Structure 1
Amino acid sequence: MPPALALPVVESEFPRHLHPYWPKLQEKSRAWLLEKRLMPPDKVAAYADSLCYTDLVAGYYIGAPDELLAAIADLSSWFFGWDDRHDRDAVHGRTTGWRRLCAGLHETLQDPRAHLHHEDPLVAGFADCVLRLYAHLGPRWNGRFARHFHPVIDAYDHEFGNRRTGTVPSVEAYIELRRLTFAHWIWIDLLEPTARQELPDAVRKHPAYRAAALATQDFSAWYNDLCSLPKELAGDEVHNLGISLIHHEGLSLQQAVAEVHRRVSDCVRDFLAVEPEVLSLADELIDGSAAGRKASAALQSCVFNMRNWFSSVYWFHHESGRYRVESWDDRSLPPYVSDAPGPEFPECELAGPELAGGQE
């Protein structure tokens, strides 16, 4: 483990767990990528297992029903594919196709069934995932999921504009943007169907719960930035905490790596500091009623799986072939990515959505 990436506290304080469905999940994920045409068959055969996308999710959502875990795993694989399309469309200036994709994703959140056979595999694949996720907790949770995902799409579009103009966001602007492009609140929302129970609003909006959730997600996003920095520098990316620190605060590459490492370590400490308060909140929910016991158990499940983000994200980044830029023939083009454009559509003007900010 390179010292710049090593986090002894994660290795010692956050044991690694894998959902028992994981071996089957890997097999199903390969089949889903092929069925939905999200990766060419030769790339699925050569790279799908070594990318370890299913390992990542199988370590997050312990206790999830098998069919839910499969849907989350496919959403995660879809997310990586969407991220790769975003990169290639930005590099090649495929603005019309990109904007049409964003519009299709927004529409899918409102009516996933109507988009299951969309011409664009990314829209159809997203529709499949959303429809399966919507089957677990009902309209209230589904509506919240959609409200949280619309700003994620808009944030990706905002990044697309930055890539096309070479704009490196300030550190503060980047942190807020990253909380959307990493889909912080989506992954936290998915803790609830994993626990088979929607949390009461008073719990979900409690400052301690939100602080713990934010610490896990900032850790995950910034550790990703730390590990993907060589890949993103090679590809002329402008969105990385390290790149913002270099560009706007005058840090050297070595200093930027050290600063991102420090911030990542702080996220772990922040979580450990607030975790006891969240567990105390779970104890307070036990009021002698069946509803109280269920809410307490659900919150304990959520906190347990928040913990699992640290170990799962940490080991994923050291096992996945997604970040082994030194082994690629072309450091600017990952070998698992197809550089072909998405479906061809007639050229037309599409208005870009504004970046949405607030979270519920």
Structure 2
Amino acid sequence: MARLDPFPVPDFHLPFGNSKHPLAARANAEATSWALGHELVTDAAEQFTAIGCGHLAGRVSGEVPYETIVLLAEWMAWSFVLDDQHDHLIRTGELAAWRPVTDAITEYLNTGKTSWSPSRRNPLVNGFIDLCDRILAGMSPGTAARYRTHVPQMLHSLDQEAGNRGATRRPSVQEYVLMRRHSSQLLPMMDMVEAGLGIDLPQHIHDLPAFQAVAESAVDIISWGNDVFSLPKEHACGDNNNLVSLISSWEGRSLPEAVRAVEEKIQARIEDYVAAERRLFQVIDAQGEMDPSLRADVTRCVRSYEDWMIGADLWQRYECTRYSDERFAAGLESAYTRPDLVSVA
């Protein structure tokens, strides 16, 4: 497929403030060291460092302890390798190797052990085990239950992406939007930040339609914005898992026209978010029985979503080379991708 001509990413006019942890650069270096230590990356370490996992973690974590920022940055490093490795297997037609890895990850998440012997584990499984133990140790039972739900949903969405790339029929825009909420890999990371902030919202709050509307609109805004940033690579390698590409295909628009359409959708979704936030507190206040400390935690959680929206946007624009790297724009694999990673025993 032809390479996409360079285009300016629109300003999405996110009406939120943001600050970055002063030790974000240190967290970024630690995350790279962790990935190298677990042999998720063995070459092109500088390119991997330039993704800026620590900078993203430092922008979206609010006032969490530094140790939480490092842990989140390490999880992000793992998730980028997971995503890139999955892409490699799609390109090479080796997806059969993927199932044992994701089965081992899911088994460990559910039981705290894996039927694989230590000698058979590969870097993705070993890295997940190290992270999972530390992540769950810092979570309340309720947050841990959501994390245990979100990780398999994330893995399943990668299978859906692979199916989309091999299918003759493209997913509809609505099908894609629902899948993208999980393939963005945001929800487990949001669980981690919530735990790091000491927020422990009961499940009945998360189940409120008004709360779900806030969370879903935030995830959509981040995901759709990322689709604009990542369009050059995905267009170049024929990946149809992109909102811009799907709108272009289904609606018969040029790619520049589809970018503008996504920009308009993001602006409308920002309005949805603001309205959903207002409705949420109207619902809470109408109940009249909520403990003030719980209401304060709901407020902190909502503010965290705002940190995610603006923080992810700023990171992609100014602190991450992933979306501007020449290899990426040409649709090539990252230089740090290990072709043998899944086969490593």
Shorter-chain TM-score bucket reads: 0.7 to 0.9
Alignment deviations for residues 235-280 of structure 1 (CA, whole Å, 9 cap, x no partner)? 1112111111122222211221111111112222212223234456
Query: Which residues of 2 match residues 276-315 of structure 1 at below 5 A?
Result: 276-279=278-281, 292-315=291-314
CA distance in 1, matches of 2:344, 2:49: 33
Letter in 2 for 1:176: L
Instruction: Give the secondary-structure state (helix, strand or coil) at the position aligned to 1:344.
Output: coil
1:101 aligns with 2:101: yes
Aligned counterpart, 1:351: none
CA distance in 2, matches of 1:16, 1:131: 30
Instruction: Give the secondary-structure state (helix, strand or coil) at the position aligned to 1:322.
Output: coil
CA distance in 2, matches of 1:129, 1:339: 20
Aligned counterpart, 1:64: 64
Instruction: Tell me the percent identity.
Output: 25
**Displaced runs of 4 or more, over 4 A:** 1-4, 112-118, 279-287
CA distance in 2, matches of 1:249, 1:69: 41
Instruction: Give the secondary-structure state (helix, strand or coil) at the position aligned to 2:50.
Output: helix
CA distance in 2, matches of 1:137, 1:201: 14
CA distance in 2, matches of 1:110, 1:103: 11
Higher relative contact order (CA 8 A, sep 6+): 2
TM-score, normalised with respect to structure 2: 0.88
Aligned counterpart, 2:170: 168
Alignment deviations for residues 184-210 of structure 1 (CA, whole Å, 9 cap, x no partner)? 532443343133131022322222221
Aligned counterpart, 1:189: 191
Aligned counterpart, 2:55: 55
Aligned counterpart, 1:332: 331
Aligned counterpart, 2:3: none
CA distance in 2, matches of 1:191, 1:285: 27
Q: 1:306 to 1:331 in 2, by over 3 A?
A: same
Checking the alignment, whether the CA contact within 8 Å between 1:29 and 1:73 is kept in structure 2 is: yes
How far 1:322 moved relative to its partner? Answer: 0.7
Letter in 2 for 1:85: Q
Aligned counterpart, 1:25: 27
Report the RMSD for the aligned CA atoms in angstroms. 2.7
TM-score, normalised with respect to structure 1: 0.84
Query: Which residues of 2 match residues 181-260 of structure 1 at below 5 A?
Result: 181-260=183-262
Aligned counterpart, 1:146: 148
Query: Which residues of 2 match residues 107-126 of structure 1 at below 5 A?
Result: 107-112=107-112, 114=114, 117=118, 119-126=121-128
Aligned counterpart, 2:86: 86
Alignment deviations for residues 3-40 of structure 1 (CA, whole Å, 9 cap, x no partner)? 54222x22xx3222112442331221121111111111
Q: 1:328 to 1:191 in 2, by over 3 A?
A: closer
CA distance in 2, matches of 1:213, 1:182: 13
Letter in 2 for 1:240: N
Moved more, 166-175 or 307-316: 166-175
Instruction: Give the secondary-structure state (helix, strand or coil) at the position aligned to 1:190.
Output: helix
CA distance in 2, matches of 1:333, 1:222: 22
Checking the alignment, whether the CA contact within 8 Å between 1:72 and 1:129 is kept in structure 2 is: no
